[in-house]
Amino acid sequence: AQSVSQHNHHVILSEAASLELGCNYSYGGTVNLFWYVQYPGQHLQLLLKYFSGDPLVKGIKGFEAEFIKSKFSFNLRKPSVQWSDTAEYFCAVNNNDMRFGAGTRLTVKP
């Protein structure tokens, strides 16, 4: 079955630490890839997306993600996290239907 896997359920970091959240998918063919974020009390919003071209995509707030086709991965990274990055992060794949991973809760300690 097609699926989206996020490896980390809850990540706790101190401010200024580097972040990498894993995402793997099992869809074949062409896919569009997304990372969404949900800050406390807010609704889901787009962080970044990959449709084609440069596999390293940059999003808002200093986030980036790299699409590695051979590994079916789209990991999210940020070199130095801030307390305001505390949120839940969802990887999503669109192959004519948008499907999500289980989400990773990120807690950044000040």
Contacting residues toward other proteins, per CB under 8 A: 30-32, 34, 36, 42-46, 49, 51, 90, 92, 94-103
Q: How many CB atoms lie within 10 A of CB 1?
A: 3
Nearer to other proteins, 70 or 96 (CB): 96
CB of 84 to other proteins, least distance (A): 20
Nearer to other proteins, 29 or 110 (CB): 29
DSSP state of 27: -
Nearer to other proteins, 43 or 110 (CB): 43
d(Cα 27, Cα 34) in Å, to the nearest integer?
14
